[in-house]
Amino acid sequence: MTALATVWVFGDQLNRRIGALAQAKPQTHRVLLITAADKIASRPWHPARVSLYTQAIENFANELREDGFDVDHRHASSMRSGVAAHRAEFAPTRIEVTEPNSVTARALVSELGCTVTPSNQFLCHPTHFTEWAGTRKSFKMEDFYRWQRRRLDYLMDDDEPAGGEWNFDEQNRERPPKDGHDRWPVPVDVWATTRTGALKRLDFFVKRVLPMFGPHEDAMLADNWHLAHSVLSPYLNIGLLLPGEVCDRVEKEFRAGRVPINSAEGFIRQIIGWREYVWNLYWRWMPDYAAKNALGADLDLPPLFTGTDTRMRCVSGILGDLQTRGWVHHIPRLMVLGNLALIAGVNPQQFTRWMWDSFVDAAEWVMVPNVIGMSLHADGGMMASKPYAAGGAYIDRMSNYCKGCAFDREKRVGDDACPFTTLYWDFLLRHADRFVKNPRMSTQVRAAQKLKDAAAVQARAHDVLAQLANGTL
Ligand X SMILES: Cc1cc2nc3c(=O)[nH]c(=O)nc-3n(C[C@H](O)[C@H](O)[C@H](O)COP(=O)(O)OP(=O)(O)OC[C@H]3O[C@@H](n4cnc5c(N)ncnc54)[C@H](O)[C@@H]3O)c2cc1C
Give residues in contact with ligand SF4 (CB under 6 A): 312-314, 392, 395-396, 401-402, 405, 407, 409, 418-420
Q: What is the DSSP letter of 208?
A: I
What is the rounded CA–CA span in Å between residue 161 and residue 152? 12
Q: Which stretch binds ligand X (CB under 6 A): 74-82, 269-277, 285-293, 438-446?
A: 269-277
- Tell me the closest approach of the beta carbon of residue 155 to ligand X, in angstroms: 15
Return the residue of 34, 79, 219, 236 that touches ligand X, per CB under 6 A: 236
172 neighbors 262 (Cβ within 8 angstroms): yes
Task: State the CB neighbour count (10 A cutoff) for residue 178.
Answer: 8
Q: Which is nearer to ligand X, 370 or 422 (CB)?
A: 370
- Is the backbone peptide bond immediately before 419 cis, with ω within 30 degrees of 0? no
Contact with ligand X (CB under 6 A) among 149, 313, 329, 377: 329
Site string for ligand X, 287-326 (x = CB under 6 A): ----------------------------------------
Residue type, 349: Q
Residue of 222, 366, 372, 457 interacting with ligand X (CB under 6 A)? 366
206 binds ligand X (CB under 6 A): no
398, burial (CB in 10 Å: exposed 0-12, middle 13-18, buried 19+): buried
- Which is nearer to ligand SF4, 119 or 308 (by Cβ)? 308
Count Cα neighbours of 158 within 13 Å in the Cβ-side half-sphere: 1
Nearer to ligand X, 61 or 242 (CB): 242
- Pairing relation of β-strands 160-161 and 156-157? antiparallel
Tallying the residues shown for the chain, one arrives at 473
Nearest to 156 by CA among 74, 265, 230, 83: 265
Instruction: Check residue 45 for interaction with ligand X (CB under 6 A).
Output: no
- Burial level of 284, CB count in 10 A (0-12/13-18/19+)? middle
Tell the burial category of 198 from Cβ atoms under 10 Å away from its Cβ (0-12, 13-18, 19+): buried
Nearest CB to ligand X, comparing residues 126 and 338: 338
Q: Is 275 in the site for ligand X (CB under 6 A)?
A: yes
Which one of 361, 364, 396, 426 is in contact with ligand X (CB under 6 A)? 361
Q: Which of 291, 279, 303 is nearest to 367 (CA)?
A: 279
Q: Is 109 in the site for ligand X (CB under 6 A)?
A: no
Whichever of 361 and 426 has its CB closer to ligand X, that residue is: 361
SS3 content of the chain, % helix, strand, coil (to 5): 55, 10, 40
The Cα-based distances of 464 to 188, 303, 341, 347, 467 in angstroms read 38, 14, 13, 17, 5
Q: Exactly one of 282, 359, 394, 401 binds ligand X (CB under 6 A); which one?
A: 359
Q: How far is the CB of 457 from ligand SF4 (least distance, A)?
A: 15
Q: What does the alpha-carbon distance between residue 448 and residue 391 come to, in Å, rounded to a whole number?
A: 12
- Residue 421 touches ligand X, criterion: CB under 6 A: no
What is the H or E stretch that residue 143 is in? Answer: helix 141-152
Q: Are strands 156-157 and 115-117 parallel, antiparallel or unpaired?
A: unpaired
Output the smallest distance, CB 380 to ligand X, in A. Answer: 17
Least distance between ligand X and beta carbon 439 (Å): 23
- Work out whether the CA dihedral 407, 409, 410, 413 comes out positive or negative: positive
Nearest to 156, CA basis, from 170, 146, 169, 168: 146
**Residue 370 touching ligand X (CB under 6 A):** yes
| Closer residue to ligand SF4 in complex, CB, 161/419 | 419
Residue placing its CB nearer to ligand X in the complex, 371 or 413: 371
Stretch that binds ligand X, among 52-60, 86-94, 329-337, 407-415 (CB under 6 A): 329-337
Answer yes or no whether residue 265 interacts with ligand X by CB under 6 A: no
Q: How far is the CB of 309 from ligand SF4 (least distance, A)?
A: 13
Binding site for ligand X (CB under 6 A): 229-233, 236-237, 270-271, 274-275, 278, 329-330, 333-334, 338, 355, 359, 361-362, 366-367, 370-371, 374-375
